[in-house]
Amino acid sequence: MIRRDVLVVNDVGLHARPAASLVKAASSFSCNIWVEAESGRADAKSLLMVLALGVTQGTEIVIITDGPDEEKAAADLAELVESGFPGGT
């Protein structure tokens, strides 16, 4: 299991398009992936659950991965969030 602390830097946080980008990326991995924020924990492969977290710009989240491709998933998803979801806002 890997835990990665990541700061959400894009203007709209994990709303609509950025959340959809995160879910799409997470769904490409076979491991289990969660996003954790102060508001709770969500399955990163579920758009509704990610949106329900209400993550805004400047929020620190934790990406948690567990499974066969957990290292690559954690690295790729952290990079996506830290980059501000280019083309996804």
Catalytic annotation, residues: 15
* Pairwise CA distance, residues 73 & 29, whole Å: 6
User: Which DSSP symbol is given to 69?
Assistant: T
From the CB of residue 7, how many other CB atoms can be counted at a distance below 10 Å? 12
CA angle 57, 73, 84 (to 5 degrees): 25
